Amino acid sequence: MKSALLKFNAWFHLWIGIVTGGIVFIVSITGCILVFESDLRDWINPERMAAAPAGAQQLPPSVLVPAAEAVMPGMHVHSIQYHIPGKAAEVTFHSDSVVYVNPYTGKVNGIVKKIDFFSYMEDGHVHLWMPLEIGKHVVLWSTLIFLFLLITGLILWWPKKWNRHNIKNAFTILWKGKLKRVNYDLHNVLGFYTLPVTILMAFTGIYMGFGWISKPFYWLTTGGEPMPAYYEPLSDTTRADALPKLRVVDDVWRKSVNELSVPKSSAVLIGIPEDDEPAAAVYTYVNMEGAFYTGYFFDQYTGKKLQAGGIDAVPFAEANFGTKWRRMNYSLHTGLILGLPSKIIYFIGSLIAASLPITGFIIWWGKRKKQKKKPSKRPQQAVAQ
């Protein structure tokens, strides 16, 4: 019975790996590139940067928003995001461009297109450059299969006997060996060492895409609580004493930076309702440069704090484990969770994950050629009379 299970495990790892190998390679190599997306964008687009003068204070949205709208005539600001010191404020519209404004001077740094090399890589990572509804399911199911392949790979890696010779073979690469042996070790040994990262990347990926995984996981990690439903509160459109919209937005920004951010953070995102959205609320997400963000909503006419629904509405420090995981999931998937150290680890992990289908295919191809070369058994010649 055990032997049959091991044979099935080897069969599953081989043939399912061959079928999904190309998809795993694309998803992994694009993910590898996207790990440093923000850093590379800062280098490619200097408009994203804004040196913080000594003692300078960031200007409120009421100064930065009109400056951005002046270079996008006829368009209304959708949101404004303040980043950490040294970076420009990011002003978005319902457009294919983003306006970057110096938050210390109010001057526009420049306009940058949203569609670029990195957006192209993201399309490949998320849906393989196919139509979204088709491609994303291909990626999600392939990632789920890849998660099982990682587990079957661990079973194949596991030494039959834990003696010195087997332990050395399982944990080290024989660089002086033949090319076939080096390739085998690159697949086997590196696959083992990166297993925690690749499992985490695969699970967090399918967690984002499959509700039938995320909801039961939330239920299990909260002791049986259902995932709270998301809803946005509405502004009171009957108010006769309505304040100017940008004044409310300024107040929300000050509250976000000074009161709502724990720990204190200047990285906030503020959504501004358009004129044809009379009941919409002003929203703000605080602590945006990390995994510990929290969302709040305010009446666009009075600035009164409103109660919203969903996992983002609970302050991170007060959230249960399931809610914290949900909020951290994106950072856990992309490597942002610990900043540069985790980015480096994820870059290496994604690169090795991309190599696994290649090294695995080479192993299979070598065995296939070896089997073809084996001489067929011939019947013994009859003894001459």
DSSP string, 249-281: HHHHHHHIIIII-SS--S-EEEE---TT-TTPP
Scored b (16 or more CB within 10 A) or e, 10-38 reads eebbbebbeebbebbbbbbbbbbbbbbbb
Structure tokens belonging to residue 239: 């108010």
pLDDT tens, the chain, 385 aa long: 678 888 899 999 999 999 999 999 999 999 999 999 999 999 999 999 999 888 889 999 999 999 999 999 999 999 999 998 999 999 999 999 999 999 999 999 999 999 999 999 999 999 999 999 999 999 999 999 999 999 999 999 999 899 999 999 999 999 999 999 999 999 999 999 999 999 999 999 999 999 999 999 999 999 999 999 999 999 999 987 899 999 999 999 999 999 888 777 889 999 999 988 999 999 999 988 777 889 999 999 999 999 999 999 988 888 999 999 999 999 999 999 999 999 999 999 999 999 999 999 999 998 876 776 666 555 555 444 4
Distance of alpha carbon 359 from alpha carbon 363, whole angstroms = 6
Q: What is this structure's pTM?
A: 0.90
- On the 0-12 / 13-18 / 19+ scale of CB atoms within 10 A, 134 is exposed
pLDDT at 384: 42
Query: CA angle, 111 as apex, 285 and 42 as ends, to 5°?
Result: 65
pLDDT at 375: 61
The domain locations on the chain are 2-37+119-221, 53-103+237-319
Question: What are the DSSP E strand ranges found in 108-234?
Answer: 108-113
Dihedral sign computed on CA atoms, order 331, 335, 339, 342: positive
Distance of alpha carbon 150 from alpha carbon 185, whole angstroms = 16
Dihedral sign computed on CA atoms, order 166, 167, 169, 174: negative
Q: Hey, what's the torsion of the CAs at 19, 148, 220, 338, to 10 degrees?
A: -90
pLDDT at 56: 87
H or E element that contains 48? none
CB atoms within 10 A of CB 264: 11
pLDDT at 304: 95
Longest dimension (CA), the chain: 120
**8 A C-beta contact, residue 92 and residue 78:** yes
